[in-house]
Amino acid sequence: MVLTVEAALQWTDRLHREIAGRRPAVARADEYYRGVQRLRFASDKWAEYNAARYKDFSDNWCAPVANSPNERLRVDGFKLDDDPTQSDDEKILWRDWQSNDMDAQSSQGFLGSLIAGRSYVLVWGDERDEPIATWERADQVTIAYDVERPGRATAALKTWHDDTTEFATLYTPDEVWKWERPWLGSSGHGGPLPLRAEAFFTTSAGLLVPASDSLGWKERRNTGDDKWPLPNPMGVVPMVEMPNRPMLGSDPLSDIAGTMAMQDAINLLWAYLFNAADAASMPARVVMGQEPPSIPILDENGQVVGKQTVDIRKLAEDRILWLTGQNTKIDQWDAAKLDVFTGVIETAVTHIAAQTRTPPHYLVLGKGMVNVNADGMRAAETGLVKKVEEEQLFFSPGVRGINQRFALVRGKKPLADRCRFGDVKWRDAENHSEAQRVDALQKLGALGFPFAWIAERYGLSPTEVERVLAMRDTERQQDPLAEIVRNGGLPALPAGPPGEE
């Protein structure tokens, strides 16, 4: 897709708008995961007295909801075909994966997809034609797809900024367009991400206008490239999307989107509890039948010329309550029961566990999980396991796309075509103890399953499997008798000469 400058600017503007429109939701989800949550749902009267006190408090349940599946998302290998041995092509692909620290990057990237609904991976080549992969955030990147072929990307945009300049790079299957324009800030709210990304520019008439379209973009040439636009030798958009459980005709899902409202309710309940603990956790006295106390007003000679009533709100803050009436008496009320609040909070947390398929013992330690055997614990984690397996299903095309682009960077088009049909080897989503895993694998070995397959199920990478197999071969050569004993006995004796019995 060879574009004119005008068409490239139109693509840049369209995709930039899409990123800018997505940023508020991404910023909000990111803040909730980090525990930066504003106090909501409080009545106006209560908030007038207490909101400022608890504005920075949060009881963060969004983090464990996102962390629990992310802990079980790990790529252990990539197979191109059914050949049990690791081919040279598979070794190259796995080396590229490891050389780009994709184990660490994927952990961050999958977490980003769980929080924001999607993340992206950019694959390009360095000066030696070695693949370089970087995981990108959902508030900086977007991809446009062919309407008739939804899985085929037609363009991608990455945008970012520093203190003075906003940058954008438009990727198409044939070209890379690099832009820049002045950056004068954003209408953010002090969080880790801006709510909007609107730069402003001065026109020739001296007017300051927002850059909501392609206004202000100019060529970015100070990047060491000798051409503009830069040719894309890969022949495909070098960006891959990692969507979290996408829905038909809708955006991918965030694992914590449904948790945010309940998180707000829990934070408010804690604020109510703290307020009750502060004001009514100990017995308090009340004076009835007297006018509120007053402060005398003196003149310059020290004579009383009037009086000023003490502010009732100040008395309330000092835990003194004055009630007027005919008869004066002093009474007291007992301390408030705070377990009413904690019971409701525990119920809200169990709702979060059910809605997000997070095991209850991940959120409320010991709640309803006392004296539960291993089968019961496994049943409690079934929902999380199935959710992780579903996420693996939707992340697998992205992993195949990354390997495809690794091959294209190296100029191996046939290998890239094979990568489209490769099999992603994921770490087992179910959480087994070491004893359980070894026992199950030993039983599978007794049934005749090959050792290499068992080693993969144990969680070894393709490189580690080959290394273990080589070590086994070395042991056999060094001590054949021990290998015979390990296999269950001595080999059959050779037959004697013909005619002997």
Q: Are 352 and 358 in contact (CB under 8 A)?
A: yes
Report d(CA 118, CA 244) in Å as an integer: 6
Tokens 């703290």 belong to residue? 274
pLDDT at position 200 is 47
Q: Which residue has the higher pLDDT, 251 or 466?
A: 251
Residue 264 has pLDDT above 80, yes or no: yes
Residue 501 has pLDDT above 70, yes or no: no
Q: Which residue has the higher pLDDT, 335 or 443?
A: 443
Write the single-letter amino acid at 63. Answer: A
Partner residues linked to 329 by β-bridges: 288
Q: What percent of the chain is modeled with pLDDT above 90? A: 45
Residue 36 CB-density burial (10 A; 0-12 exposed, 13-18 middle, 19+ buried)? middle
What's the average model confidence in pLDDT over 130-149?
A: 94
3-state helix, strand, coil in the chain (%, to 5): 40, 20, 40
Angle at 376 between CA 371 and CA 378, to 5 degrees: 130
Report d(CA 170, CA 230) in Å as an integer: 10
Other beta carbons within 10 angstroms of residue 116's beta carbon come to 26
pTM of full prediction above 0.85: no
| 404-433: pLDDT as tens digits | 999 999 999 999 999 999 999 998 888 777
Residue 77 has pLDDT above 60, yes or no: yes
Report d(CA 211, CA 203) in Å as an integer: 11
What is the separation, in whole angstroms, between the first and last Cα of the chain?
A: 82
Partner residues linked to 308 by β-bridges: 295
> Which of the given ranges, 74-88, 197-211, 246-260, 394-408, has the highest pLDDT on average?
394-408
Q: Are 289 and 325 in contact (CB under 8 A)?
A: yes
Residue 105 has pLDDT above 60, yes or no: yes
Q: How many CA atoms lie within 13 A of 381 on its CB side?
A: 19
